[in-house]
Amino acid sequence: MSNEIAPTTARLQQDVAAAETSVDDTLITISTLMSSVVAARRDTPGVPVVKGHATIRRLATAQLALVDLSGDIHRVHGDLVDIGRETAGYDLHECPKTAGTNVVPLSAVA
């Protein structure tokens, strides 16, 4: 087993968590923007409904893309857990953060 596994695992663990959080934060931000756009269309006289509708549809498309992205990131998380089990021989059923272990295995990248 390489001496580089622990630092690599720690880096991947931070990077995966950061990616998951970033996607969630972006989804929340886009959802907030969607609410603001719909409210503005409703509350602002003279805004053409067609233009407002097109903007709302674009935001909805962006939201769906983020939901797909989130799913892909979570699948990457699972893939990295599997790689950690295969490569480093770790037998964890959960990531260390939720499993309550102090070991930093490669599978913890997930």
Task: Report the C-alpha dihedral over residues 95, 98, 102, 108, rounded to 10 degrees.
Answer: 20
Q: Report residue 93's pLDDT band, with 50, 70 and 90 as the boundaries.
A: low
- Tens digits of per-residue pLDDT, 43-85? 989 887 787 888 999 999 999 999 999 999 999 999 998 888 8
pLDDT surpassing 60 at residue 103: no
Cα–Cα distance measured from residue 9 to residue 106, given in angstroms and rounded to the nearest whole number: 4
- Tens digits of per-residue pLDDT, 9-48? 889 989 999 999 999 999 999 999 999 999 998 898 988 7
pLDDT for position 110? 46
Cβ–Cβ < 8 Å for 9, 102? no
Number of residues in the chain: 110
